[in-house]
Amino acid sequence: MAGRYEISDNGWALIEDIVSPPKTTGRPRRDDRQVLNGIFWVLCSGAKWRDLPERYGPWSTVYDRFRQWRDDGTFDAVLAHLQLQLREDGLMDLDTWMIDSTSIRATRAASGGGKKGARTNR
């Protein structure tokens, strides 16, 4: 059973090939599942990276892997794979996906109005 903010065995089986490809050379890496759980812990709890519990490994390793996966497209590949899996299982209909921008509040500066109380150069 997975703990709070941790990926389940079934969830890990879905993405393991993408997140943790087999590596034959070099120094062994810290367990990718443990690192992913650490990333989830930080993102879900809102804590700072340096406050990461020791059970997930060194915070710098978890942060570096987060940046690596973000920059090399690993997270995008996981999302695409999971969306494809949901479509194949019939659990996702592409016609129902949307973003409603009416709930997003824009600032005055977004419309060119400037900040409240800001001086204008005339």
pLDDT digits (tens, 9 = 90+) for 12-55: 999 999 998 887 788 888 899 999 999 999 999 999 999 999 99
C-alpha torsion angle, residues 61, 63, 66, 72 (rounded to 10): -80
Is the pLDDT at 122 greater than 60? The verdict is: no
* Average of per-residue pLDDT across 79-99: 78
Q: Other CB atoms closer than 10 Å to residue 90's CB: what's the count?
A: 7
Comparing 25 with 96, which gets the higher pLDDT? 25
Lowest mean pLDDT across 5-14, 15-24, 76-85, 113-122: 113-122
pLDDT at 40: 95
Closest alpha carbon to 17 in 70, 82, 66 = 82
* Rounded-to-integer distance, Cα 86 and Cα 91, Å: 5
Q: Cβ(35)–Cβ(62) under 8 Å?
A: yes
* Average pLDDT estimate for 57-65: 95
